[in-house]
Structure 1
Amino acid sequence: MNARASDHALLAGLDPNKPLPRKSIYRSLKGRQRIWSLYQKSIQGLAFPIRHKIVPTTYGQTFLSIAGNPEAPPIFVLPGMSIAGPMMLEFFAELQRTHLLIAPDLIGQPGHSEDRPFSNKKGAYGRWAFEVLDQLGMDKVGIASASFGGSIALEMTHMAPERVGKQALVVPAGLTPRLPYLKLYAGLAANWLTYRWWPFHDETTISHDWLKRIARPLSRSLTQDNLDYFDAIIRYTEFWRHRPAGPFSAHHFNQDVTPAFAIFAEKDFVFPHAPTLANAQKSLPMAEMEILAESAHMPSDQDMQPLHQRISAYFDGTI
Structure 2
Amino acid sequence: MSTYKNKESKQKSLTLYDSQLSKLGKDYSDIFLKTSFGRTHLVETGNKNGKPLLVFHGGNTSTAYNLLVHKFLLENFHIYAVDTIGHPGKSEETNLSPKNDTYGKWASEIIEALAYDKMACFGVSYGGGIIAKLMSVAPEKIDKAVLLVPAGINNAFPLSTIKMLLPLMQYKITKKEKYLRKIALFMTIKQEILDQDTLVILKDSFEHVRIKAGMPTNIDSKKAQLYEAATLVIAAEKDCFFPARKVLARAKQMFKNCLTEELKDSGHIHQLSDKIKSKIVDFLSD
Same fold (TM over 0.5): yes
Report which stretch shifted further, 254-263 or 130-139: 254-263
142, 145, 149: which one aligns with 2:120: 142
Alpha-carbon contact 1:177-1:279 (below 8 Å) kept: no
In the alignment, what sits opposite 1:11?
none
In the alignment, what sits opposite 1:247?
218
254, 277, 281: which one aligns with 1:308: 277
1:70 deviates by 3.7
Give the aligned residue type for 2:283.
Answer: Y
Which structure 2 segments of 5+ residues have no match? none
Runs of 4+ in structure 1 deviating by more than 3 angstroms, as ranges, are 69-72, 177-180, 285-288
State the number of aligned residues: 283
In the alignment, what sits opposite 1:18?
none
In the alignment, what sits opposite 2:164?
188
From the CA coordinates, give the structure whose radius of gyration is larger. 1
1:258 is aligned to 2:229: yes
Give the aligned residue type for 2:171.
Answer: Y
SS in structure 1 opposite 2:153?
Answer: coil
Q: In the aligned structure 2, how far is the partner of 1:243 from the partner of 1:110?
A: 15
Q: In the aligned structure 2, how far is the partner of 1:187 from the partner of 1:56?
A: 41
Identity %: 26
178, 193, 204: which one aligns with 1:232: 204
Q: In the aligned structure 1, how far is the partner of 2:178 from the partner of 2:75?
A: 36
What does the per-residue CA deviation read over 1:101-148, in whole Å, with 9 as the maximum and x for residues that have no partner? 111111111111112322224411011111111111111000011111
SS in structure 1 opposite 2:279?
Answer: helix
Give the aligned residue type for 2:224.
Answer: F
Give the aligned residue type for 1:174.
Answer: G
2, 6, 12: which one aligns with 1:34: 12
99, 103, 125: which one aligns with 1:125: 103
Alpha-carbon contact 1:249-1:279 (below 8 Å) kept: no
Which structure 1 segments of 5+ residues have no match? 1-22
Report which stretch shifted further, 84-93 or 211-220: 84-93
1:103 is aligned to 2:74: no
TM-score normalized with structure 2 length: 0.91
Alpha-carbon contact 1:84-1:104 (below 8 Å) kept: no
1:94 is aligned to 2:72: yes
Q: Over the residues paired in the alignment, what is the CA RMSD in angstroms?
A: 2.0
In the alignment, what sits opposite 2:250?
279
SS in structure 1 opposite 2:101?
Answer: helix
In the alignment, what sits opposite 2:92?
114
Alpha-carbon contact 1:94-1:309 (below 8 Å) kept: no
162, 180, 185: which one aligns with 1:211: 180
1:305 deviates by 3.1
1:162 is aligned to 2:140: yes
SS in structure 2 opposite 1:218?
Answer: helix
In the alignment, what sits opposite 2:154?
176
Q: In the aligned structure 2, how far is the partner of 1:93 from the partner of 1:48?
A: 10
Q: In the aligned structure 1, how far is the partner of 2:257 from the partner of 2:73?
A: 20
CA distance change for structure 1 residues 224 and 71 in 2, over 3 Å: closer, same or farther? Answer: closer
Alpha-carbon contact 2:244-2:262 (below 8 Å) kept: no
251, 254, 267: which one aligns with 2:238: 267
Alignment of 1:285-300 (within 5 A): 285-300=256-271
Give the aligned residue type for 2:236.
Answer: A
TM-score normalized with structure 1 length: 0.82
1:255 deviates by 5.4
1:210 deviates by 2.4
1:177 deviates by 4.9
